[in-house]
A and B are shown apart, each in its own frame.
Chain A
Amino acid sequence: MQYSQKVLDHFMNPHNVGKMENPDASATEGSPSCGDQVTVYLKINEDNHIIEDISFLSYGCASNIATASIITDLAKGKSLEDAKKITYEDAMEALDGLPPVKVHCSVLAADTLQTAISNYEIAHGLKEVPNFGKETILAELKKIIYPQVGTDIVTLKMVKYVGFNDGEVMIDMNMMSFDSWRENVAEEIHEHLEKYPEVKKVEINFP
């Protein structure tokens, strides 16, 4: 695997790694079955909403550890408003890039940070629990990276149709039968959507 020196540095000597005692918020994303899981812990100043401390745990490959490390660097000392703007592209740029098959690691790290922030905001009455609907589904699908090229499946127009009715999600995909990434993408879709209590069933249709 061709990793940049920055990725290797953050992998060998990650910043802000370790479990945090009594965090103000935390979030865990990913699943062991997909081979990667990240937990982010936050300590937030109640008055000015600055992220005063942040740490992470990571089960996963080198890029998974490195992207979690860089995301904590990017968020530390920022206000919640500024930290909410951190994307996986920022993480990739700060690491001098990632191989296409590893882009999903940076999405996971950025996603976990955003969920931790959202958990804090909900717990402190700064925002309402968002309604689950088609927009949530689309936002989740936008986090799924097609490993061949390292771009998300919505941007690549691989999602033809999204439906949500009575707890059932229906997705029509535009991926050829000989596409060897079909299984990976389907697994990721299930993982991203089934974590919502509102989702009872996910049906994915390929041509």
Chain B
Amino acid sequence: MKSGSVYLDNCVTSPMAPEVLQAMLPYFSERFWFPGSFYSTAESTNEALSGFAHTIAEAIGAQADEIHFTAGGTIANNIAIKGIAGAAKKGHVICSVVDYPDLLTNAAWLEKQGFEVSYLSADSEASIDLAALKQAIRPDTFLFMTTIVNHVVGTIQPMKEISEILKAADHKIYFHADAGQAFGKMPLAVDDYGIDTMSISAHKIHGPQGIGALYQRKGVRVAQTIHGIKRADNLQPGGLSIALIAGFAKAVELNFADLLGSIRQLRELSDYLYERLLEKIDHIELNGPQGEGRAPHNINVSIDYIEGESIAMMLDMHGITVATGSACASQGLKASYVLMAIGKNHVQSHGSMKFTLSRYNTKAQIDFTVEKLAEITAELRKRSPLYNAIKNQEK
């Protein structure tokens, strides 16, 4: 097997759909023009852009003029969070300890600028504490932000309940949502949840890397944080690749043509993976919720008594790409903060494996992965003092 032949790390980035590449090609060559006015070339790009914005807006129940194209999801998060804070000038922000690093690093930056931030805790399935949210709201709270689908364990946050709590507050609290893992994996209409700003990204749904979008509800004030010449967008000034935007729109079109069907397909595949894992490997447990409360593409398990970097490296030698929450595999030698925050111990975190699936994965790939993983688990457990100690006790 050659490297990357079974790719199960789609939450990081996903392979581009061939149709997306085709849709982009004309914009790399004969239709390379920037948007603008007066010239017919620029006019035709204006028209194309508004069509792409329309496609993306439709997918989230928004209007085309509420879509800002950005150079990726992280930029969209920065523009929204820093921009809303910039408009508010001072006050209090709420997020949670299990949020995506984009939100947490921005929260830390806001604290340095003099804003106050409350970090909600989460339960054992990474669902945020709603009672704590109610209590955290202060007269000067101007922003709540959340990661709709948790990037580690796939938990879908209780969006309806959150929006009701925010609406019940006696003043307006903006609701910013990171939809990096949620977009294309669940029905997501911004009006259903009273979302004010939301970040999405193309390359997690088989679109091109380097392009994303920010949804900004009409009337929501976002101060400009990036300055420069306006090309396609005022909040993200400067040139943006029209080809990447075309590819983004194509990816959305493909993903949303039959959204419920594609969700069903992913859930069937991840259910199949989880059942095979339980069947072939003992001392294994699911991290995060089971069933409808979990995004359909995510399975995260802890394999007891062995360490994740070893597992991932051995899988890699069979051409299988899977992520781990082990400290040993992280740059900072730290166990996954999400797993630790939801009450897992170090061993569970070190032995955690995250599989994130896409429509290009097959049951045959999953069979192959589980077969290899079972062999690797047996081999590493033979070497493990923790497993040998357990075996001794069982005798």
Contacts and interface: CB of A to CB of B under 8 A. Distances in A.
A38 interface: yes
Contact of B347 (A11, A32, A62): A32
Contacts of A28: 385
A90 B111 CA distance: 47
A61 B326 contact: yes
B332 interface: yes
Given A59-B305, A60-B307, A61-B326, A32 B386 contact: yes
Interface residues of chain A: helix, strand, loop or mixed (majority): mixed
A57 interface: yes
A1 interface: yes
B255 to A, nearest CB: 33
Interface in A179-200: 180-181, 183-184
A37 B307 CA distance: 10
A23 interface: no
A12 B316 CA distance: 12
B310 interface: yes
Interface in B315-331: 317, 326-329, 331
A147 B332 CA distance: 9
A36 B333 contact: no
- Interface size on A, as a range, is 20 to 34
B384 A59 contact: yes
A62 B345 contact: no
B329 A58 contact: no
Contact of A35 (B314, B350, B382): B350
B328 A37 contact: no
A149 B373 CA distance: 33
A12 B388 CA distance: 19
B385 A65 contact: no
A3 to B, nearest CB: 8
A74 interface: no
Contacts of B162: none
Contact of B385 (A12, A38, A62): A38
A61 B328 contact: yes
A36 B278 CA distance: 26
12 contacts: A1-B313, A32-B350, A35-B307, A35-B333, A57-B384, A57-B385, A58-B383, A61-B307, A61-B326, A62-B309, A62-B310, A147-B333
Interface of B: 305-307, 309-310, 313-314, 317, 326-329, 331-335, 345-347, 350, 382-388
